[in-house]
Chains A and B, each alone.
Chain A
């Protein structure tokens, strides 16, 4: 086993999730320092590579949310540098970050996921937005949920209950990405399940139930302390709790993810579990569900992060 010298927590970036990423990074650094690991917060700017080269850390913990952190590009560069890092490999990140690709892989692994279409902006331009919207509603009906195919923190995501709503939702979505994932909205209990692998295989953490004000778990509801009620573990029947755990581990495995992930799900009124998306750099802020789930499992977040960093460092030896 390698002794951790010092580690770098990567946070910030240039995506709209910068602020959240910085908050996640500060939490991770704080938790690591509580368990005696010297952690340095670093942004992805033009000084990063020379810094990592001149003073190589034992391992890097990327908590950059949004495109550069979750689409594998930062990890690709860390790989080029030979810097050990926590989390999934670039190719797996690319698949997970593309929500439509992740849904296909999840469905292929036997998971249930809402019917959806994924369309780039050009399609609406080339074929006429109204005609395409009519077609979508004709096939999927309403209500629908629209979100950027690549993005997070519910930025650019909204529900649509009519054709006019859908146009508004798609335009809002295109603020944060050029491709819209439009899926059938499934009502039910919103659940987030963290998956962690500390060396004994991926295991699900206790599911966290999210009760957002007005039923909308949007950006404000996610990151305003006290705005949303969380139940960790979720108030689910034992069999359903087992099923959401199975779904999360299956998604983690099917997408080839490593170390840590968070799967977002809906449990409908009949108890069926619907896979929505999986995150390779889940939020670690004070209001994020993953640290909550760790604590619900009687795991100390700082010890978990240190163990993941240790695994990453050992992997490269």
Chain B
């Protein structure tokens, strides 16, 4: 691992003096912690022999049934046998990549894409090709064109990785009209879709969007997670996959971790059985909606001309476009000096481009802190603009 300046700056950003709009951590303090504590205590007292024991690599059978009930809220019909419980959906992503990707294979991903996915793809030496998005998500025509070009070049494309709903980091959602079209394009090309949907139940307006997996059983590996709807620290996620893929996932999971943590699985199972989890998700939605509103209001009030940003209908993130010539990575130390932090856009592109953008998260800070953080950031961008005016356009480091 290489020591990086960015990580050094994030070490400072963890201090309370800094308003961090960087991390994407859920606000777990909103959970009824006393009730959860009591629940965990009685779980150990009554079922400690199971909770502290090994289990099957595929995951706890009751939990897999419950996962199907959770997915049904978004319109997904799945059988528990199709579900593999994983250590967060990140492990599912790692296992899928391990199963499918050989060094040099192409993985298609949105531009920008989730940094954790890019890390997994890089670990297996995949060649990530980014596909353009707009405010309505992945552009099917761009996807088709990329597939055509890569196929003509003789490249081996293994799958499309997409976060269609409340995208991390872009904060946009794939339009209803595009969902079927994306599936059609991939089906025509015989291409697997890996749909990552950690935020689907955290929409602010109306009913949840129907995931891609709700429209087809075949051709989609679906990744879900309790990290945002219950607690990230439990590290319980899952994959839903067609039978052939599912069997390979179980074998790969077994070799990686033997089995997911029984204690965490039974905690989730107990939580879903005994706690008002649907109401808690509603409470999370209201909380994140207020924070999203605070961020959008602050951005509108303070950002200098030349900035633009997405207006998320759910999830945790706003994707901020900076004025021409500003490099979010180079600006980060100045921002941290001004006691605000964000994630430079460069982290969300496999080739390190994206310096013209920044990801802002509103999930963790209080609305007042969000307002103050955005105000500080606007000041930093103003100062950056003045610097660029003085020195003219400068070469981005690493370009």
Contact = CB atoms under 8 A, between A and B. Distances in A.
Interface of A: 14-20, 22, 45, 121, 124-125, 128-130, 153, 155-156, 164-165, 167-168, 170-172, 174-176, 219-220, 222-224, 227
Contacts of B332: 175
Given A121-B387, A171-B394, A227-B3, 11 more contacts: A14-B12, A16-B333, A17-B8, A19-B8, A22-B11, A130-B392, A167-B392, A168-B394, A175-B333, A220-B2, A222-B3
Contact of A219 (B4, B390, B397): B4
B9 A16 contact: yes
B331 interface: yes
Contact of B330 (A17, A22, A153, A172): A172
Given A125-B390, A224-B2, A168 B9 contact: no
A224 B1 contact: yes
A161 to B, nearest CB: 12
A223 B391 contact: no
14 contacts: A16-B5, A16-B9, A18-B12, A18-B15, A22-B11, A125-B390, A128-B390, A155-B8, A167-B392, A171-B391, A174-B334, A174-B387, A175-B332, A219-B5
B391 A129 contact: yes
Contacts of A19: 7-8, 11-12
Contacts of B394: 164, 167-168, 171
Contacts, number: 80
Q: Is the interface of A mostly helix, strand, loop or mixed?
A: helix
B3 A220 contact: yes
A43 B191 CA distance: 52
A175 B344 CA distance: 14
Contacts of B391: 124, 129, 167, 170-171
Dominant secondary structure of chain B at its interface with chain A: helix
Contacts of A121: 387, 390
A220 B2 CA distance: 6
Contacts of A22: 11
A128, A164, A175, most chain B CB atoms within 10 A? A175
Contacts of B2: 220, 224, 227
A155 B5 CA distance: 7
B7 to A, nearest CB: 7
Given A17-B8, A125-B390, A224-B3, A156 B15 contact: no
Interface in B1-33: 1-5, 7-9, 11-12, 15, 17-18
B2 to A, nearest CB: 5
| Most chain A beta carbons < 10 A, residue from B9, B15, B391 | B391
Interface string B104-118: 000000000000000
B324 to A, nearest CB: 15
Nearest to B327: A171
B395 interface: yes
Given A15-B12, A16-B9, A155 B333 contact: yes
B386 interface: yes
B392 A156 contact: no
A168 B399 CA distance: 12
6 nearest A-B residue pairs (beta carbon): A19-B11, A223-B3, A175-B333, A168-B394, A224-B3, A129-B391
Nearest to B8: A19
B387 A18 contact: no
A20 B11 CA distance: 9
A20 B3 CA distance: 10
